[in-house]
Chain A
Amino acid sequence: MKLQTIEKDEFTIIKVEEKRIDAVNAPELRQKINELSGTGQTRVILDISNVTFMDSSGLGVLVSILKMLGGSGELIIAGANGIVSDLFKLTRMDRIFRMCDDPESAEQIMTVA
């Protein structure tokens, strides 16, 4: 899975540079964030603004990432749109994830927090 990682002082932005998050590539995303949390970085913005399709397998991996980061960690999902945004709403998982329309808004939240 193609990912771009941008390290900031207090958080990390991971930009998914693929059109899909599904059963094929979602485990790679979990592995990447697992490696990141191993270095102590548990505040993550996941920028999915380029993603045009995600299935429930992908959503399940995002939940596992949320659990992995734990109570002291923070995960913001940024840029969900179209059917990807609908997936969060239909499953009501938009109640669970902190979501922002765009990565810039997510950065502001992370910086203030």
Chain B
Amino acid sequence: MSKDSKVYNIQLQIDSQMKHIRLLGGALRGIGAELELTNDQIGQLELILVEAVTNVIEHAYEYKTGNQIQVKVECDPDNTIKMIISDRGKSMPDSLQGKLKADRLSLPEPELLPESGWGMGLIQMLSDSFHYERNNEQNYWHIMKCLA
């Protein structure tokens, strides 16, 4: 597929199960390959998406299955890719929202041998903008990455 100025919109939906996150990852890789993104770009986008959706399953749905997670991907191959991840679960915990508002990236100290806590920091590092909103009993994660 040759690049042009067309903006592509793709909508994906999974059940709130960890194993279904792989389906999202596979779909995103396919989209990235069709749009001729680099392997680095595709890998980073997949990591962003997987970390975000894992967070939704963990915090919004507390690992309960049978709930919907929607991902809208809007891609202008010459400029940006935007992902909006939405769910109808619980609000993002204040502790995580605090990390988003902090000036510095929130990553655990390696020397403490952490086994978790990297997700939000990774999304912040790998994206060019990232914000969260709660609206109408739904959570929305807005993530944008520049491709140029």
Contacts and interface: CB of A to CB of B under 8 A. Distances in A.
Q: Do the two chains bind?
A: yes
B44 A60 contact: no
Contact of B50 (A22, A67, A82, A96): A22
Nearest to B18: A23
Nearest to A59: B118
Main secondary structure of the interface of B (DSSP, over half): helix
Contact of B43 (A59, A64, A66, A82): A82
Contacts of A63: 113-115
B115 A60 contact: yes
B54 A92 contact: no
- Majority secondary structure, A binding face: helix
Nearest to A56: B118
Given A55-B50, A91-B107, A96 B113 contact: yes
Interface residues of B, number: 28
Interface in A49-90: 52-53, 55-57, 59-61, 63-64, 66-67, 82-83, 86-87, 90
Given A20-B22, A63-B115, A82-B40, A56 B110 contact: no
A1 interface: no
Contacts of A23: 18, 21, 54
Given A55-B51, A55-B54, A60-B116, A90 B19 contact: no
Contacts of A55: 47, 50-51, 54
Nearest to B107: A91
B119 interface: yes
Interface residues of A, number: 26
Interface string A1-43: 0000000000000000000101110000000000000000000
Interface of A: 20, 22-24, 52-53, 55-57, 59-61, 63-64, 66-67, 82-83, 86-87, 90-93, 95-96
Interface of B: 18-19, 21-22, 25, 39-40, 43-44, 46-47, 50-51, 54, 107-108, 110-111, 113-116, 118-119, 121-122, 125-126
Given A67-B113, A86-B43, A95-B111, 18 more contacts: A22-B18, A22-B50, A23-B54, A24-B18, A52-B43, A53-B46, A55-B50, A56-B116, A60-B118, A63-B113, A83-B43, A86-B40, A90-B122, A90-B126, A91-B118, A91-B121, A91-B122, A96-B113
Q: Which 10 A-B pairs have the closest CB atoms?
A: A83-B43, A60-B115, A56-B118, A92-B110, A23-B18, A55-B50, A96-B110, A63-B115, A24-B19, A60-B116
